[in-house]
Amino acid sequence: MSKPHYDREHHVKKATGIGDPQCFKGEAPAARFKVGDKVRIKDLPDLFYTRTQGYTRGAEGTISRLVYESPPAEDESWDNTENVEWFYSLVFDMQELWPNYPEAYAGDTVETEIPEHYLEAV
Amino acid sequence: MTDINPDFIELDKQMSDRELDSSPIELLEKIKQEGRVWDELSEEYGVDNPDPPWRISLEATCDGLAGGYWAPFNICLPEEERQPVMADDNKIDSNERRWEEDKLVDQHYADVPFPERQLLALAHTMIRRGMISEDELAKHMKAVDERLHMADGLDD
Amino acid sequence: MSSNDKEHLHPPAPVVDEVSDFEVLEIAVRELAIEKGLFTQEDHNQWTDYMHTLGPAPAARLVAKAWLDPEYKKVCVEDGVKASLDVGIDWVNTMPTKFGTPSDYCNLRVMEDTPTLKHVVVCTLCSCYPRPILGQSPEWYRTPNYRRRIVRWPRQVLAEFGLQLPEDVEIRVVDSNQKSRMIVLPVRPEGTEGWTEDQLAEIVTRDCLIGVAVPKPGVTANGKRPVRPAVNPYKH
């Protein structure tokens, strides 16, 4: 019996002794956004897998840090590591994300990471 | 798209060319039919741990047989630093073990859940490679079984 | 023992009270391999120990060091992976795999609390957790109950953990959704002036590092629990 061949180890070979996401360092095009920028999360269609939470889609957030370069999970889950891009840590106001979040706690926030192709300038 | 790693085509060729005896092993067939798997035991006793208690120990055994936990990634090393793939009779390279596990599961253990199937495939590989004999394993299992049941009846 | 006594006892957690052929096979294969010198008991212990001894101790040490050394604190916040080296955790090479598996990516962020900002960590999409530095995650961290609600009603959920924060403290829920793993660097509590690193590390419990508790002098993971006399003592 024969099984299809595929390279189960290419990620291991790339990342061993270096780490992931460190192994993608330097592969992304120049970052389009900087710390302090206000951005909106695009509600892009995703096939079967995404790590961009539903609750962030359409919301506006502020970039707090450029965290690392990596292929987006939406590609990597299909073993496609060609499109390395910058990942950003973003801070969202709770009131922006949820209806009726109490005014008394207007300062409460969520921080989470989103890859660049989901972001558009506000 | 991603190309097929030539190392793996080579591994597959080497492994296939060995024409390893693929017949069933009586002792392991008996365990396959009579042994109670963790899915069944945990349900019966109402235990919610998804893995049997020996799971980590089995992983360590596989890694030990590969020559330490760095060896599974032998294939990632530059050519000159790699350990010989087939030469050392006392080792089972992890890629080889996985390759054999796939074949053996297809042939004999498709109905056995994980990780019981990994254990059966490992024992199968070790017997067919001549690292241990079927008789020897049966004898040692009997000794272990007796040891584990030594306390039976004492605390009733 | 009368049936009446039985009703007052907690039933023990269930165990599989049966030795399976597979359990015996695993032991037999391992012992034969060791007997034949294919590997040693020490090799075997090294791997199993690694899996079993992961725990929150290195992260607690990191926090204690950061409280005592402002320069080190800067490193923690800037580069958690680098800061981890000082507490014995190499995010790449400590793991047996040496590269970080999808469940253990190699990026640590240390989220610094201030007197007016409190971080709490969750993974709403699954249960990502900084295992190399914090060990296995607690059961509740993986429940949909915690994952869904902390991001939506953080004050209510924290109150359920016994942590009630005043209005002037802002909460920041950190949702660990990609390749970073997070721990919280809490504010050093009052009453710890002059303490040593060892003393400080003791009060940084796992829950403090996830962010559902704050450190308090006298509250440690290993602290002695109070022993109270039984209400209905057993009669001989």
pLDDT in tens, C9-23: 666 778 888 899 999
A5 to B3: CB separation less than 8 angstroms, yes or no: no
Give a yes or no: residue A57 inside a domain. yes
Q: Which residue has the tokens 């006594």?
A: C5
Task: Residue C120: name the closest of C100, C102, C140 by CA.
Answer: C140
The predicted pLDDT at position C97 comes to: 59
Our count of domains for chain A comes to: 1
- Residue A66 distance to chain B (closest CA, Å): 28
A18 to C155: CB separation less than 8 angstroms, yes or no: no
Distance CA C194, CA C209 (A): 22
Mutate to test the interface with A, among B10, B15, B73, B77 (most CBs of A within 10 A): B73
Query: Residue C171's beta-bridge partner residues?
Result: C118
Phi-psi region of B112 (alpha: psi -120 to 50; beta: other; left: phi over 0): beta
Residue A63, SS3 per DSSP: strand
Write down the mean pLDDT value for chain B: 81
pLDDT in tens, B119-135: 999 999 999 988 999 99
Q: What ipTM was estimated for this complex?
A: 0.94
- Residue A49 distance to chain C (closest CA, Å): 11
pLDDT in tens, C25-72: 999 999 999 998 888 888 788 777 766 666 778 899 999 999 999 999
Instruction: Note the Cα C160 to chain centre separation in Å.
Output: 19
Residue C70, SS3 per DSSP: helix
Of C15, C19, C46, the CB nearest to B47: C15
Of A10, A16, A80, the CB nearest to B5: A10
Domain C55-210 has CATH 2.40.40.20: no
Cis preceding linkage at B50, omega within 30: no
Q: Residues near C133 by Cβ (< 8 Å), separated by ≥ 6?
A: C56, C58, C59, C62, C84, C87, C89, C91, C108, C183
DSSP B7-47: HHHHHHHHHHHT-------HHHHHHHHHPPPHHHHHHHHT-
Query: Residue A120's beta-bridge partner residues?
Result: A40
Domain that holds residue A45: 10-121
* Range list of β-strands (E), chain C: 107-112, 117-122, 170-175, 180-185
Distance CA C190, CA B55 (A): 45
A5 in contact with B at a CB cutoff of 8 Å? yes
If you average pLDDT over residues A15-33, what whole number do you get?
Answer: 93
Give a yes or no: residue A2 inside a domain. no
C107 to A110: CB separation less than 8 angstroms, yes or no: no
pLDDT at position C102 over 60: no
pLDDT in tens, C127-172: 899 988 888 788 889 888 999 999 999 999 999 999 999 999 999 9
If you average pLDDT over residues B44-59, what whole number do you get?
Answer: 87
**Alpha carbon separation from A37 to A34, A60, A112, A120, C175 (Å, rounded):** 6, 10, 15, 10, 20
Closest-CA residue of C relative to B69 is: C96
The predicted pLDDT at position B89 comes to: 61
The helix or strand, by DSSP H or E, that contains position B95, with its residue range, turns out to be helix B94-104
**In chain C, where does the domain assigned CATH 3.90.330.10 lie?**
55-210
- Residue C115 distance to chain A (closest CA, Å): 14
* Range list of β-strands (E), chain A: 38-41, 60-70, 85-93, 109-115, 119-121
Q: b/e for B94-120, b at 16 or more Cβ within 10 A?
A: bbbbbbbbebbbeebbeebeebbbbbb
pLDDT in tens, C172-225: 999 999 999 999 999 999 999 999 999 999 999 999 999 999 999 988 765 444
User: What CATH number does the domain containing A87 carry?
Assistant: 2.30.30.50
Of C15, C26, C96, the CB nearest to B54: C26
- Residue C161 distance to chain B (closest CA, Å): 24
> How many other C-beta atoms can be found within 10 angstroms of the C-beta atom of residue C60?
26
Q: What chains are in contact with B, requiring at least 3 Cβ pairs below 8 Å?
A: A, C
Q: Residue A70 in contact with residue A115, Cβ under 8 Å?
A: yes
Q: Residue A72 in contact with residue A115, Cβ under 8 Å?
A: yes
Q: Average the pLDDT over each of A36-40, B61-65, C114-118, C122-126 and give the range with the smallest value.
A: B61-65
Boundaries of every domain in chain B: 25-145
The helix or strand, by DSSP H or E, that contains position A94, with its residue range, turns out to be helix A94-97
Closest-CA residue of B relative to C30 is: B61
C172 to A111: CB separation less than 8 angstroms, yes or no: yes
The predicted pLDDT at position B81 comes to: 57
pLDDT-derived band at B9 (thresholds 50, 70, 90) equals confident
C14 in contact with B at a CB cutoff of 8 Å? yes
Distance CA C88, CA B50 (A): 31
The predicted pLDDT at position C10 comes to: 67
Say which residue, C193 or B156, is predicted with more confidence: C193
Using an 8 Å CB-CB cutoff, list chain B residues near A6.
2, 4-5, 8
Distance CA B90, CA B87 (A): 9
Give a yes or no: residue A24 inside a domain. yes
Query: Residue C174's beta-bridge partner residues?
Result: A111, C121
Query: Residue C170's beta-bridge partner residues?
Result: C117
Q: Kindly list the catalytic residues of C.
A: 123, 126-128
